[in-house]
Amino acid sequence: MEKVSILIVGKYAEIECNLDRFRDHFNVLKLSDLSDINKIDEPELKKVQAIAFKGHSTLNSNTLKKLPSLRLISNFGVGYETINVADAKAANVLVTYTPDVLSDDVADLALALLFGVSRHLLQGDDWIRSGSWREKGEMPLNKKISGSTCGIIGLGRIGFEIAKRLESFKIKIHYYSRSRKNVSQKWIYHKSPVNLAKVVDNLFVSLVGGEGTRGFVSSEVLDALGPRGILVNISRGSTINETALLEALEKKKIYGAGLDVFENEPNINARFLSLKNVFIQPHQGSCTRETRKAMGELQFQNILECLAGRKALTPIPEMN
């Protein structure tokens, strides 16, 4: 019997995508970038029933109309803002994602970013390598985190994990989300991100991406955070007004920022590179071998279950 065709899209590390196992079950077509889709012959495309999707390129009706047999888009990642869900629904295509398995890693990195900025970890490293420790003695004093007050904008799975970790640093938790969450009574809810930013020492952004949250962290929020405040973003670059953020950092309106995500990745705004008050990372929140393996496994299981006519493990909420 002819195997069902699937299309694997994106640049995967070996541990993220077990190609042999995919090939045991399916006829596999591969693309490292969705924009190359026309390199595959039309009759082959017409047979594709599922896409294993990795990356952040736009996937909408332009692609879907080339794939009339498609039943599933299985996303590698928790954020799926570049997949047009309305177009997928209209084409009767299910979308799945990989929540939970990456929350710990992303939350871990969020705390690393906070300490990277507050304890000047890069400058400390350089203090040794440049010989300053020997020549000048102690490095300049920095900023205490334990016992402070932190705010979290967006208390989803990852925001929740960040808050739990912060509590072990004797930090008081405040948060903003669309509605009050059923969480510890000690965590204080704010209806407005500006009011939240006014009362906290440091602020984490863990919103979902997409048009609904574009520029959500505005210049007003940054002003409210103030010159002693650190901003950490592990969500999407789009959730912060990046022009306002660059200005706030350049004019020292905030203390600093720890950023794993940017607008226009990987060609980020060059102004970030000359700033000393940022600790920046190349969107590596979920980039541990263990977590990427788990994400790949969940992506595969979603395809296996769905194409066998069973319930997918983790459909996106809009599909329920």
What is the spatial distance between Cα 149 and Cα 207, in angstroms, rounded to a whole number? 19
Distance CA 58, CA 98 (A): 18
Q: Which of residues 7-66 bind ligand 8YV (CB under 6 A)?
A: 54-55
Asked if 256 is part of the footprint of ligand 8YV (rule: CB under 6 A), the reply reads no
Token output for 226: 């103030």
Active site residue 265: yes
Could you give the dihedral angle defined by the CA atoms of residues 240, 246, 248 and 249, in that order, rounded to the nearest 10 degrees? Answer: 120
* Residue 292: strand, helix, or coil: helix
Taking the least distance from each CB to ligand 8YV, the nearer of 220 and 263 is 263
Residue 168: CB minimum distance to ligand 8YV, A: 24
250 is catalytic: no
- Taking the complex as a whole, the smallest distance from the CB of residue 36 to ligand 8YV amounts, in Å, to 17
**Spatial distance between the Cα atoms of 80 and 64, rounded to a whole number of angstroms:** 16
Residue type, position 16, single letter: E
**Min. distance of Cβ 106 from ligand 8YV in angstroms?**
7
| Residue nearest ligand 8YV, Cβ-based | 77
Ramachandran bin of 283, using left for φ above 0, alpha for ψ from -120 to 50, beta for the remaining angles: left
Q: Is the peptide bond before 266 cis (omega within 30 degrees of 0)?
A: yes
Work out whether 124 is an interface residue with ligand 8YV (CB under 6 A): no
Which CB, 10 or 229, lies closer to ligand 8YV? 10
- Provide the token pair at 207: 């919103």
Cα gap 230→88, rounded to integer Å = 39
Give the Cα separation of 287 and 153 in Å (integer): 23
Site string for ligand 8YV, 130-149 (x = CB under 6 A): --------------------
The reply to whether 285 sits near ligand 8YV by the rule CB under 6 A is yes
Q: Tell me which of 119, 220, 283, 297 is the catalytic residue.
A: 283
Residues 61-100 that bind ligand 8YV (CB under 6 A): 76-79
103 is a site residue for ligand 8YV (CB under 6 A): no
The minimum distance between CB 236 and ligand 8YV, in angstroms, equals: 8
Residues constituting the chain:
320
The answer to whether 286 contacts ligand 8YV (rule: CB under 6 A) is yes
Q: Phi and psi of 113, rounded to 5°? A: -65, -40
By the 8 A CB rule, do 203 and 194 touch?
no
Site stretch for ligand 8YV (CB under 6 A), options 36-44, 132-140, 238-246, 278-286: 278-286
Is 283 a binding residue for ligand 8YV by CB under 6 A? The answer is yes
User: Which amino acid would we find at residue 303?
Assistant: I
Closest CB to ligand 8YV among 54 and 190?
54
Does residue 236 carry a catalytic annotation? Answer: yes
Residues identified as active-site? 236, 265, 283
Contact set with ligand 8YV (CB under 6 A) = 54-55, 76-79, 102, 283, 285-286
